[in-house]
Structures are given as structure tokens and as C-alpha cells.
Amino acid sequence: MSKPHRIAIIGVGAIAGMHARAIADIPNVKLVAGSCRGEEKGRKFAQQFNCAWYDSYEKMLDAEKPDVVTICTPSGAHLEPMLACAKRGVHVLCEKPLEITTSRVDEMVAAAKKAGIVLGGFFPTRYNPVALAIQQAAAAGRMGQLSVVNAYTPWWREDTYYAPHRWQGKLKWDGGGALMNQSIHGVDAIQWIAGSTIKGLGAGINPVEQVFAFTAKRGHDPALIEVEDTAVAVLRFRDGTLGQVLGATSMWPGSLKRLQVAGRDGTAEILEDELVTYKFREERPEDAATRAKFAAKTKTGGGAADPMAIDYSGHTRNLVSFLESLDAGQQPAIDGVEARKAVAIIEAIYESARTGKAAAPR
């Protein structure tokens, strides 16, 4: 970073450890504190990452006066700490989803604008070099007019993941299940890729025009979870491109994520971070090098069965991009308006599943 940044983390659960490691990897950036209500967990986090611990984020913000806060609280508890940051003029980079409803996201976006702070979202898939290579190829027209963009997240979660004492699977905190919590990465990836090919699409316009979907509870006791563990949806984009989404935590033993992008002139496909297909009607000399660069098989479980079996390098790149935007006095690539799009698509999927009719993102 060209400028030093002091960062604090609100909510020191499992994902906060990845944030802390990402912060430690970036020169000129320091983790100063973390906050959570549990003393044992908070002190353990502070000791592990050599920072202070506070039992409330308000106390932490007032005492430490950080430049940036990353929010790692349960999904349905992102709004309130963000508002506390906005009140104090602190920039915010928030875990996905930005919030569990578009109305709560809109509150965050409005508060950031009023306070003059920068609000950004974590979608590390966009910073995966192989996903970026596909997005750039699609945006450059290498695949011609797109036909389909598909995202599959065929994962598994044990019953203990949805235990009564955990926030996962609880509608108030999770906002949804396999889609809002896990598969939102794939939903965001396909709207980002397809959206980059639609000419004249305004910055705040969702590229998805309509969805039709079904959701179900198939792999877990319905008494255990309040949300879906299985979902399938078809999407129609504004330019006529079609898409499919599979999101599940019901598919034992869990498989790697898959992303497909195809048109009349080419097809690209990723299995986690392995480029399994990259073919175009008009081959270029650099295509072979791209295939070779991303030919290695995935080294981790990719979160298929273990939520923590993921590589945090995408979080590091996401954070670096956000901080570079601050240094340049610009909005980040994934600002609040951009991070809202995936939430709006998933809201429409839930509406379709509930009504049995097609729905449009709002």
C-alpha cells in the first residue's frame, strides 16, 4: 500500500481468521483490534493475531479509531456495525452477503453515501486469477454472443453445522440457506461475467432480468434448519443469455464448485480453480499458455464439505483492491451497489420458489 492503513475486525468468528491472515500479508497494513462479545474467543483471537480485543464494536471504534473495518458478524448482523462505522467516518469492507435483504443493503449504501465513507464487499471469487481470465475473455468477445452462464455449488454440511447454538440455518441471521450463504459466490460470479458483456448496462442495473426457481430441504431434518439446503434456478439475462444455478449443502460428500461460460464462439469452464475447458473458434497464441497456467488441480477441498478448507488468497486480493481504491480516492470495484446485485438475484429466486412464478430482481 502507498499509504498505511489501520484495520479492525468486527466479529471474530471463523472467517475473521482469514481476514487477519490477509491483513498480515499486506505491507503497510496493520490489524489493530477485533471485537466480539465472548471473552474467551476474543482473547484467543487477540493473542493469535497480536492485536487488541474489545467486547463491543462501539468501544473498539472509539478507542482505536481505525481507518478501515472489515465486518465478519453473522450475515443478518452486518447493517448495525456498518452504521456505527459510518457514524464515525470509518470505511467498511463487509463479508458476503452485504446483508440478507436488499432493503438492509440499501440502508448501508445510503448511510455510506451520507457519511462520505467507502463501502465495499468481499467476493473473493472475482479475484481468483482463473475466474478473472474467463471474465476478461467473455468481455473481450472471445466467446461471441453468450448462450449460457452456469454456476454449480454441490456442497455438503453436517448436521452439526446447523446446530441450535449456531447462527447458520436460522432465517433471522442467515437470510437463506445454501444460496444466500454458500452459493452467493457463484451467483455473483455469473452476473459479473455476463454483465460485463451486455452493452450499455448501467452501473446500478442488475444484468439478470428474470428467474424461476425451486428450493427444498433434502439433506437435513426440516426441524433443524429454517432455510433451504437445496436450490435450483434458471436465469434470463437482459440480453437473452440464459443461466443455471445449483446451490446445495445436501450433497454428501460434497464436490468442487463449477463455473461454465459459453457462446457460439467458445466455452470456458472452471472446476474450483482448475481451468478444465478453454476453447475458442479463433485460437490465439496466448491461449495455450493460459490453459497451462491454470491446469493444476485444486489443492484444497474448496469448501465442499469443510467451510474452512479454502484458500484465503482471494480475500487478500479483494482487500488489496479495496485499499488501493481508498488510496486513489475512488470507489472499489465491488462497492455497495455492486455487492447488492447478488442479494437481489437470490431474493428473486426465493420469491419464485415461494410463489411458483417467475420473479425479477429488484
| Residue 237: band (very low, low, confident or very high) from pLDDT cuts 50, 70, 90 | very high
Q: What tens digit of pLDDT does each residue of 187-197 get?
A: 999 999 999 99
pLDDT above 70: percentage of residues in the chain: 100
What was the pLDDT predicted at 304?
87
Residue 321 lies in a domain: no
CATH code of the domain containing 183: 3.30.360.10
Number of domains in the chain: 2
Tracing cell 461475467 back to the chain, one arrives at 193
φ and ψ of 89, to 5 deg: 75, 30
What was the pLDDT predicted at 301?
79
Give yes or no: residues 56 and 28 share one domain. yes
| Angle at alpha carbon of residue 333, lines to 349 and 73, rounded to 5° | 60
Give yes or no: residues 272 and 154 share one domain. yes
Tracing cell 495455450 back to the chain, one arrives at 288
What was the pLDDT predicted at 2?
76
Q: Do the beta carbons of residue 105 and residue 341 sit within 8 Å? A: no
Residue 215: is its pLDDT beyond 90? yes
Task: Find out whether the peptide bond into 129 is cis, omega within 30 degrees of 0.
Answer: no
Give yes or no: residues 133 and 118 share one domain. no
What was the pLDDT predicted at 107?
98
Q: What tens digit of pLDDT does each residue of 222-231 get?
A: 988 999 999 9
Residue 171 lies in a domain: yes
Residue 345 lies in a domain: yes
Q: What SS3 string covers the chain?
A: CCCCEEEEEECCCHHHHHHHHHHHCCCCEEEEEEECCCHHHHHHHHHHHCCEEECCHHHHHHHHCCCEEEECCCHHHCHHHHHHHHHCCCEEEECCCCCCCHHHHHHHHHHHHHHCCCEEECCHHHHCHHHHHHHHHHHCCCCCCEEEEEEEEECECCHHHHCCCCCCCCHHHHCCCHHHHHHHHHHHHHHHHHHCCCCCCCCCCCCEEEEEEEEECCCCCCCCCCCCCEEEEEEEECCCCEEEEEEECECCCCCCCEEEEEECCEEEEEECCEEEEEEECCCCHHHHHHHHHCCCCCCCCCCCCCCCCCCCHHHHHHHHHHHHHHHHCCCCCCEHHHHHHHHHHHHHHHHHHHHCCCECCC
Q: What tens digit of pLDDT does each residue of 269-311 get?
A: 999 999 999 999 999 999 999 999 999 998 877 888 888 778 8
Give yes or no: residues 349 and 220 share one domain. yes
Of the candidates 133, 114, 119, which has an alpha carbon nearest to the alpha carbon of residue 90?
119
What was the pLDDT predicted at 170?
96
Give the mean pLDDT of the chain.
96
Give yes or no: residues 146 and 265 share one domain. yes
Give yes or no: residues 174 and 301 share one domain. yes
Give yes or no: residues 210 and 281 share one domain. yes
Cβ neighbours, 10 Å, residue 324: 15
Residue 100 lies in a domain: yes
Give yes or no: residues 102 and 130 share one domain. no
Tracing cell 471473552 back to the chain, one arrives at 39
Which of 78, 99, 123 is at the close of a domain? 123
Whole-angstrom distance, CA of residue 117 vs CA of residue 192: 24
| Residue 131: band (very low, low, confident or very high) from pLDDT cuts 50, 70, 90 | very high
Give yes or no: residues 155 and 84 share one domain. no
Q: What tens digit of pLDDT does each residue of 32-59 get?
A: 999 999 999 999 999 999 999 999 999 9
Q: What tens digit of pLDDT does each residue of 56-103 get?
A: 999 999 999 999 999 999 999 999 999 999 999 999 999 999 999 999
Q: Do the beta carbons of residue 115 and residue 89 sit within 8 Å? A: yes
Residue 315 lies in a domain: no
Whole-angstrom distance, CA of residue 122 vs CA of residue 111: 18
Give yes or no: residues 115 and 143 share one domain. no
Residue-range definition of the domain harbouring residue 215: 125-307+335-355
CATH code of the domain containing 111: 3.40.50.720
Residue 316 lies in a domain: no
| Angle at alpha carbon of residue 193, lines to 175 and 214, rounded to 5° | 40
Which of 123, 155, 190 is at the close of a domain? 123
Residue 295 lies in a domain: yes
Whole-angstrom distance, CA of residue 273 vs CA of residue 299: 9
What was the pLDDT predicted at 299?
81
Q: What tens digit of pLDDT does each residue of 304-318 get?
A: 888 877 889 999 999
Which of 123, 141, 158 is at the close of a domain? 123
Give yes or no: residues 104 and 232 share one domain. no
Give yes or no: residues 73 and 179 share one domain. no
Its sign, for the CA torsion 224, 230, 236, 241, is positive
Residue 193 lies in a domain: yes
